[in-house]
Structure formats: C-alpha cells, structure tokens
Amino acid sequence: MKLLEGAEAARGTASGMAAVTTCLMALVKTGDHVVASRALFGGCRYVVEDYLPRWGVSTSLVDGKDPASFSRAMRANTKAVFIETPTNPTLELVDIRAVADIAHDHGALLVVDNVFATPMLQKPLQLGADLVVYSATKHIDGQGRALGGIILGTADVIEGDIHTIIRQTGPSMSPFNAWVLLKGLETLPIRVAKMTESAGKIANFLSGNQKLARLYYPGHASHPQFDLAEKQMAGGSTLLAMEMAGGRDAAFALADALALIATSNNLGDAKSIISHPATTTHARLSDEVRAGLGITGGILRLSVGLEDANDLIADLSFALDQV
Ligand SMILES: *Cc1c(COP(=O)(O)O)cnc(C)c1O
C-alpha cells in the first residue's frame, strides 16, 4: 500500500472504521476542532458528528463541493480536516489540492478517506493530503471475505501517535485478514481497471434514460464536477448512482427486478451490488439531513463488479422496463 500510494509509512487496522477513528483520535485532544465535509460514509459521520464532541473536540460539517466553505470553518484550534471524495452515495467530489492548501494555511492536517477512488484512481498524498485512510473491506479485499483498514502518511505521524494508539488500544488488523487482503492487493489494479471500464459503459447506457431523474458518475460529462474528476482522478470510479424519476417505489421496483445485480450494501466487490442508501447506510440520519445531502428515496447506488458489462447492461435494461 505504501508503494501504491507513495507514502512513507502505513499501519493496518481491523476495519475501515478503525482506521478513521484511530487516525482522528491521534490528531486531536480535548479543546481541538475538526472540519469535515458533510457528505461522509455513515460511520465516519458518526465519529465526526457524535463521537468526537463527547471528548471535547468540536466539529464543523461543511459543503465539500465548495472549498470556500472549508476556509470559513477553519479556527485557530482546527487540527484536522477530514474529507471523502468521491462521496457516498452521490459521488460528489472535493478538490483535494484546494482543501489541502486551506488546511495547511491554518496549521491543520488533511485526512482523505480514499475508499471510493482506490489508490488506482486517486493518490491524495500527491495532491497535498497528509494522511489517507482506507477500508480494505471494499476494493482491496474485493470479494467480501474480510474486514480491514489502512492508514498511510508521513513517518512522523504514523510511527508516532498512530503507532502508539494502535499498539496500546488494540484496533490492529488480524494476521489472517492481512494475508487475505494481501492476496486481494495482487489483483487490485486489474479489477479496478475492469470495473471502471464497465461503470463507464453503464453510465453511457443509463444517461438520458427517461426513468432516471439524474445520473451521478464522475467520469461522465453530465457530472457537475467532471473537470475536477479529470484533474484529480485517473478514472471515473467503479461506482455510480442514479435517482429514479418515480422516487422510492421506482427504486425498489428496479432493485427487485434485477437478476444478476445483487441487492446488498458492500461495494468494490467482484459481484455487482445495488443498494438503497436512504433505508440502509443513511437510515440513521433525519429526513432533513438526508434531503440536504441529496439522498432522496429515489437514489440507488451501484457498485460495478467483474461480470461482463453487456450482461450488466442487459440486466439493468430489463429491470428499467419493469419500473
Ligand atoms: C466502508 C467504508 C468505511 C468503513 O469501512 P469498514 O471496513 O466497513 O469499517 C469508511 N469509509 C468509506 C467511504 C467506506 O465506504
């Protein structure tokens, strides 16, 4: 992972959430402040919004699409900025270079959750980030077999506080999982390349379909941040999202009519998986917060797997006809 990422040091953790929590706990203490983009994976949002404040760390959630919103939120005691890009599930992008500059101007470190992009499509450290965190449970394993996480960054932080916290508090990766995940890493480049290629074909197929209110794919010209995607990513992502014009009923009808694509919540898997964020990963949030994130009942997230792209398109085509 150090070689893929261009990082000085790394540590494995028991899960992606162990990586995120350990990383943030290492950077802050009571009285500090954290700025984060508000479109975060559910667990990450919980750590930032609910958990850190319990320990006297105040947090501000901002609109990740707008670098100026990070500038406005920075305070004298801001120690860390935490972002995820592309975001789950609506694949919004955060300008890593711009936010890294803002964090550094204020003496804070930038932590990037790079799970959706993978190290094959985006290298945050090269764009100015200080630390990168992964859920290895996703593309790195790639077959839904094991949980794991990774924290990468400069040797001073990783071999200092992060090493000490892992050693003393126990969120370590198990040796067996490390072995499984290393086997996954051997095929990561080929899998991500194939999944990204298929996702691009599916985005082209879905684009303009009358049953969709909107398509979300960073590699498609219809994405409002397509230019930023071209600038900071080496591909359009293995995930895409769609908003069904018929809302929640249409989303459920589509998912139920799919035969090849499974309904589940994992992502980055060899099997294509569709999920309904409003009733699963983001069910904990209030209707109002969900609406602010654009996670309506009509949104479906598709993680594109390794099946033949034509078979996936045929499955989607049939299911769309049933809606
Ligand atoms: C899954 C995921 C996590 C958490 O990873 P686990 O291994 O499930 O703990 C964090 N961030 C993102 C973006 C994820 O998709």
Q: Confidence band (pLDDT; 50, 70, 90) for 237? A: very high
Query: pLDDT tens, 111-123?
Result: 999 999 999 999 9
State whether the beta carbon of 258 lies less than 6 angstroms from ligand 1. no
Could you check whether the bond before residue 171 is cis, i.e. omega within 30 degrees of 0?
no
End-to-end CA, the chain: 43
Question: For the chain, percent helix, then strand, then coil, each to nearest 5?
Answer: 45, 20, 40
State whether the beta carbon of 39 lies less than 6 angstroms from ligand 1. no
Q: Burial, 287: exposed, middle or buried (Cβ in 10 Å; 0-12, 13-18, 19+)?
A: exposed
Residue 184 Cα distances to 12, 146, 151, angstroms: 14, 10, 17
Q: What is the mean pLDDT of residues 201-210?
A: 97
Atom 5, ligand 1: residue with shortest CA distance: 16
**H helices within the chain, ranges in order?**
2-5, 16-27, 42-46, 52-54, 67-73, 96-105, 118-121, 155-157, 163-169, 175-206, 226-232, 247-257, 287-292, 309-322
Q: What whole-number distance in Å separates Cα of residue 228 and Cα of residue 67?
A: 12
Ligand 1 geometric centre to CA of 41 (Å): 7
Ligand 1 atom with least separation from CA of 149: 7
Ligand 1 atom with least separation from CA of 147: 7
State whether the beta carbon of 62 lies less than 6 angstroms from ligand 1. no
At a CB cut-off of 8 Å and minimum separation 6, what does 214 contact? Answer: 242, 243
Q: What pLDDT score was predicted for residue 128?
A: 98
274 with 263: CB under 8 angstroms? yes
Mean pLDDT lowest for which of 50-64, 193-207, 280-294? 280-294
Query: pLDDT tens, 139-188?
Result: 999 999 999 999 999 999 999 999 999 999 999 999 999 999 999 999 99
Q: Confidence band (pLDDT; 50, 70, 90) for 284? A: confident
Q: Where are the domains of the chain?
A: 2-185, 188-321
Is this structure's pTM higher than 0.95? yes
Question: Does residue 11 sit in helix, strand or coil?
Answer: strand
Q: What is the mean pLDDT of residues 70-86?
A: 98
Q: What pLDDT score was predicted for residue 265?
A: 87
Ligand 1 atom with least separation from CA of 18: 9
Q: Confidence band (pLDDT; 50, 70, 90) for 69? A: very high
Ligand 1 geometric centre to CA of 138 (Å): 7
User: For the domain bounded by 188-321, which CATH number is listed?
Assistant: 3.90.1150.10
pLDDT(244) > 90? yes
Q: What whole-number distance in Å separates Cα of residue 92 and Cα of residue 244?
A: 18
Q: What percent of the chain has pLDDT over 70?
A: 100
Question: Per CATH, the architecture of 2-185 is what?
Answer: 3-Layer(aba) Sandwich (3.40)
- Token code pair at residue 260: 């090849």
